Amino acid sequence: MRKLHQFHGGIHPPTNKAQSNQTPIVQANLPSKLTIPLHQHVGNSAVPAVEIGQHVLKGQLIGCAEGNLSSSVHASTSGMIAAIDKQLVANSSGLPELCITLIPDGRDEWIELDPCLDWLECTHSELRLKLRKAGVVGLGGAVFPSDMKLHASQQKIKTLVLNGAECEPYITCDDLLMRERAAEILEGAQIMRALLSTEEILIGIEDNKPEAISAMRAAVLEGKYQGIEVIAVPTVYPGGGAKQLIRVLTGIEVAAGVRSTNLGVQCFNVGTAYSTWRAIRFGEPLISRIVTVTGNVSHPQNFEVLIGTPMDELVAHAAPLNGTRYYIMGGPMMGVPMPSMQVGVIKATNCIIAASKEIFPPAQPALPCIRCTRCADACPAELQPQELYWFAKAKNFDKAEDYHLFDCIECGACSYVCPSNIPLVQYYRFAKSEIWAQEANQKAADTARERHEFRESRIEREKREKAEKLAAKEKAASAAKTQRTEQPPTLVKTDVNPEDTLQLKIQTAIDHAKEQAAAIKPLNTEQLTPAQQAQIDEIEAQRARIREMALAPVADHTKG
């Protein structure tokens, strides 16, 4: 039996998982339309790869990954591209983002896939490229492109942690996935293990999911896997946080500003392992995921949902009840309210809670902080939430950073225990985004300063070069003059100033032109035949006449 460790703090909110984990995963029906955002992942937004009116097949690439840190987006079913425009999406800002609207044709026809019967024959870079092309991202909520995390770093990765803790209340999608698709999760984990060259795989599952634990253990035995251990961890929120789970399983404490990979541990969600297997073995891009639909519905359960399915159409499958005011994406602790009920399911959507007044009563009025430090007792990151609150409230961001604001995982344990009902996490989010904005501004200012200084120095340099050129020219001219007249130059200035030399330059130019004019003779006037000479003489005579006429007074002419 492995010795388990503990992390600081944590809370025990009602889990509310039993409502939705009683029935198996159900395939959700094809919706009337799919709204697929192009920015569902960490990093750059994908770039549209289709046109309006184009017919696409299921699994066809519709958004190309842009840059290194980005991910592809695929058509979730076959159909027609109806629009590429900005629409409300499942994000916390509630501001529209670029989406591709797909009207399904009902045939659900797959594009030709590129399966890989034996992935052991593929090189590591081929496997990573396959994952990148399939748009596989972390499904635990962070949606970080998985291929980026599967690089064997300089530091040897000793342990691969598969996160099946699912600590947040209401959510059961990982629970059901582990119960029903354990073997495939383990196959995905094998691919991850190969890519990272790790020895052991630790699968952490909270002990309130006994079915999932036994299913995973059975799959390990059945597949005769070596070095994979399924570990039941105590149910404490937020035990599913990556740092917290690593701490519990390995005893390693990931310090501030340090990545777990530097300590030899990498962590993935079980759903990501499943998608990795599907992407490598069958060539299937990430176009669907398991979503828990719960809250104010009469049949809370898990669905396998196509990415882009409008949330209200999905919730309709779970027999919604009256009184739903809005949807929450994620759990009650860290989830965000959706700007609209029609927004599409994205890769990060693990749970949709239909929120009614009964389930989520309006927040109690916030009272002043009494410095009871219950929040500090609950904080899993061992921060001082009450201090951070004061600093964020006073917009004293430097101080907040000194108190390790960026180690806050926004789990909400502090707000949960706060007797004054202070929305603490909102303050931390506010402070974090202000600090990021300030950093961006500072960066922009530094670039502007650099560009301005470069411009100034360039103008200065151009001026100097011009003056030097002029001085050199003038020197040469005067030297030539001296040679011709054999007289010492009358005017040679060493420190030349453009204003002074202008006059001189003009005079030199005029002189030069005169000299040239005197030197030049028409080239074709030699060796003329007598006839040509006669012609020229005639023309010259005519010219002389015309000149005379022009000079003669014209007054008579006008009168006549």
End-to-end CA distance of the chain: 130
Nearest distance in Å: CB 312, other proteins: 21
Tell me how crowded residue 546 is: count the other CB atoms within 10 A of its CB. Answer: 10
Q: Which residues neighbour 453 within 8 Å (Cβ) at sequence distance 6 or greater? A: none
Nearest distance in Å: CB 4, other proteins: 35
Q: Which is nearer to other proteins, 362 or 522 (CB)?
A: 362
CA dist 124 and 187 (Å) reads 16
The one-letter code for the residue type at 281 is: R
- 454 scored as a contact of other proteins (CB under 8 A): yes
Of 10, 427, 434, the residue nearest 235 (C-alpha)? 10
Which of 298, 364, 490, 516 contacts other proteins by CB under 8 A? Answer: 364
Only one of the segments 15-23, 126-134, 362-370, 500-508 lies at the binding site for other proteins (rule: CB under 8 A); that segment is 362-370
- 452 scored as a contact of other proteins (CB under 8 A): yes
- 91 scored as a contact of other proteins (CB under 8 A): yes
Write out 322-367 in H/E/C secondary structure.
CCEEEEEECCCCCCEECCCCCCECCCCCCEEEEEECCCCCCCCCCC
Q: Which is nearer to other proteins, 100 or 189 (CB)?
A: 100
Residue pointed to by tokens 């598969």: 162
- 253 scored as a contact of other proteins (CB under 8 A): no
Nearest distance in Å: CB 442, other proteins: 9
Nearest distance in Å: CB 95, other proteins: 4
Write out the two tokens for 15: 């889990």
Of 266, 271, 339, the residue nearest 302 (C-alpha)? 271
- In the three-class reduction of DSSP (H, G, I as helix; E, B as strand; rest coil), residue 84 is classed as strand
Per CB under 8 A, contacts with other proteins among 33-72 are 39
Only one of the segments 126-134, 202-210, 220-228, 448-456 lies at the binding site for other proteins (rule: CB under 8 A); that segment is 448-456
Length of the chain: 560
Q: Which residues neighbour 91 within 8 Å (Cβ) at sequence distance 6 or greater? A: 97, 336, 339
Write out the two tokens for 484: 């011709």
Q: Which is nearer to other proteins, 32 or 421 (CB)?
A: 421
Nearest distance in Å: CB 303, other proteins: 27
Of 346, 499, 371, the residue nearest 338 (C-alpha)? 346
Which of 96, 223, 264, 337 contacts other proteins by CB under 8 A? Answer: 96
Dihedral sign for Cα atoms in the order 130, 131, 136, 137: negative
Which of 255, 319, 448, 472 contacts other proteins by CB under 8 A? Answer: 448
The one-letter code for the residue type at 310 is: P
Only one of the segments 195-203, 284-292, 371-379, 432-440 lies at the binding site for other proteins (rule: CB under 8 A); that segment is 432-440
Which of 1, 120, 363, 549 contacts other proteins by CB under 8 A? Answer: 363
- 110 scored as a contact of other proteins (CB under 8 A): no
Tell me the longest C-alpha to C-alpha distance in the chain.
130
Q: Which is nearer to other proteins, 8 or 429 (CB)?
A: 429
Residue pointed to by tokens 């460790």: 5
The one-letter code for the residue type at 90 is: A
Which of 23, 32, 197, 426 contacts other proteins by CB under 8 A? Answer: 426
Per CB under 8 A, contacts with other proteins among 496-555 are none
Phi/psi at 11 (nearest 5 deg)?
-135, 170
Tell me how crowded residue 50 is: count the other CB atoms within 10 A of its CB. Answer: 18
Tell me how crowded residue 165 is: count the other CB atoms within 10 A of its CB. Answer: 33
Nearest distance in Å: CB 439, other proteins: 12
Q: Which is nearer to other proteins, 176 or 355 (CB)?
A: 355
Which of 125, 433, 497, 532 contacts other proteins by CB under 8 A? Answer: 433
Q: Inter-axis angle of helices 182-196 and 173-180, to 10 degrees?
A: 100
- 325 scored as a contact of other proteins (CB under 8 A): no
Only one of the segments 109-117, 237-245, 419-427, 531-539 lies at the binding site for other proteins (rule: CB under 8 A); that segment is 419-427
Write out the two tokens for 511: 């002189």
Q: Which is nearer to other proteins, 124 or 399 (CB)?
A: 399
Only one of the segments 157-165, 227-235, 356-364, 531-539 lies at the binding site for other proteins (rule: CB under 8 A); that segment is 356-364
Q: Interface with other proteins by CB under 8 A: which residues?
A: 39, 89, 91-93, 95-97, 362-366, 423, 426-427, 429-430, 432-434, 436-437, 441, 444-449, 451-452, 454-455
